[in-house]
Copies of this chain bind each other. A is one copy, B any other.
Amino acid sequence: MRITIIGSGNVATHLAAAFKNAGHRIVQVYSRDMQHAALLAYHVAAEAINKAEDINADTDIFILAIKDDAITGFVPHLSTFNKPVVHTSGAVDLQALSDHTKNAGVFYPLQTFSKTKEVNFREVPLCIEGADESISKTLEELARSVSNNVYRVNSDQRKVLHLAAVFACNFTNHLYNISEQLLAGSGMGFDMLRPLIAETADKVKEHSPAGVQTGPAVRNDEHTMQAHLQMLNAQPGLQEIYTRLSQDIIKNNNTGNGDK
């Protein structure tokens, strides 16, 4: 397929590379910032553009990988071409596009992307949704060409998925960050925690997280939890996080299903 990428950030970069590697042709990369557009366009042998009026009709699909609140505003530049226009956001309804074009769709990669970190794209869950069956089919085919994990997910489901991903990924990474900060000044480095982090994630590849919960809260070890809160006396924000998460673990353990 001929593909036009709108955006040059983390998602745009990884999607464009995956499409290119699968044999598709990236025709244009658009970014407001010409240098950003040029860098990505160079990697995928596309034309770099930074003006919406330079967008070419010579493509099979427009993929919007831009900020959520910029999506709706960009559609008028594309709807005249009568080609599929899809966004890549977990949080934005299909309707944000379908209000403006009948060729609307969603192509949401459920993964965390940073430009400096390669990803095995064939394992990335791709969640697709089309305004009609023809668009869904096109998106499904495109998705299967780059990944083994393709799901049809509607807008309501996708929002749940995105929320779950914030807990499983964004908040988790912040906990890693907190743990690194806690070691600062102790003469011990983050390297000491890396095997623990790897194993914690590895455990849930086969197990359900509830079945492998460890630590003071699940043991209801009041003494250790009090000592930890004491150690965090100068960091009330971390105390709150510690308390809330511990309470939810204890509640979960008692009811078998946590805060629901």
Contact = CB atoms under 8 A, between A and B. Distances in A.
A249 interface: yes
Interface string A41-53: 0000000000000
Interface in A98-156: 110-114, 116-117, 119, 123-125, 149, 151, 153
Interface residues of A, number: 103
Contacts of A172: 172, 175-176, 197, 200-201
B182 A175 contact: no
Nearest to A224: B91
Which secondary structure dominates where chain A touches chain B? helix
A10 interface: yes
12 contacts: A110-B196, A151-B192, A157-B186, A164-B178, A164-B193, A167-B178, A168-B200, A170-B214, A171-B241, A174-B248, A180-B210, A238-B259
